[in-house]
Amino acid sequence: MTVNTRVRQRLPHFAREESAQFVTFRLADSLPVERVAALREELAMTANAQAGPELRRRIEILLDIGNGAGSLRDPRIAALVRDTLRHFDGRRYALHAWVIMPNHVHVLITIRQGSDLSTIVGTWKSYTARRANQLLAGSMPFWQADYFDRGIRDERQFYTVWSYIESNPTRAGLCEQDSEWPWSSAYRVECPDDEAG
């Protein structure tokens, strides 16, 4: 088993092959830099083990408010990201759950032997940024430079994260039921029953 540890910017990334990972990446304009800095400063004053999880919880709340241009609301861009996530499913990773929100993406994957998380996320982000800028006739940074990841410790956490991902649009008020959000692994197309005639 290979273990990859990388430190980029301020976030350490630790991923083992054949391990499930919860990954979040967001648009470059999704969070006001000054607001995140203020949160970090506020939580730094609370010297307890809950500062890290509390920061992530508060960042999730800010993301769900929908800051920034929300380029992922554009169906062309959301479909691009969805198709990119699915592209190497079964080869480089197993894609368990995913959701594309207006300004961020959550993914639950198990990394396959011979693959590494930073390469997988880097591929997703570089390909989609290039194509999104073409579609939007833009040239600005599309994704925020880094990403958040958390290794899944056990089956209970795996299913908790899966549920969290698929219920994100409902919690953010984007739909009434998880299965209604078209940019999620929870999406279910309702087919009318065949009527016997």
Q: So where are the chain's domains?
A: 3-30+72-180, 31-65
Question: Would you state the pLDDT for residue 11?
Answer: 43
Question: Would you state the pLDDT for residue 7?
Answer: 39
With a cut of 50, list the residues of the chain below it in pLDDT. Answer: 1-14, 194-197
Question: Would you state the pLDDT for residue 31?
Answer: 75
Question: Would you state the pLDDT for residue 46?
Answer: 67
Note the CATH number of domain 3-30+72-180. Answer: 3.30.70.1290
Token pair in block for residue 154: 């056990």
Question: Would you state the pLDDT for residue 14?
Answer: 47
* DSSP character string of 12-53: EEEEETT-EEEEEEEBTTSS-HHHHHHHHHHHHTS-STTHHH
The tens digit of pLDDT for each residue in 38-59 reads 777 777 776 666 667 777 777 7
Predicted TM-score (pTM) above 0.85 = no
Question: Do 60 and 89 meet the contact criterion of CB atoms below 8 Å apart?
Answer: no
Question: Do 35 and 24 meet the contact criterion of CB atoms below 8 Å apart?
Answer: no
* DSSP character string of 65-90: HT-S--GGGSHHHHHHHHHHHHHTBT
Question: Would you state the pLDDT for residue 4?
Answer: 47
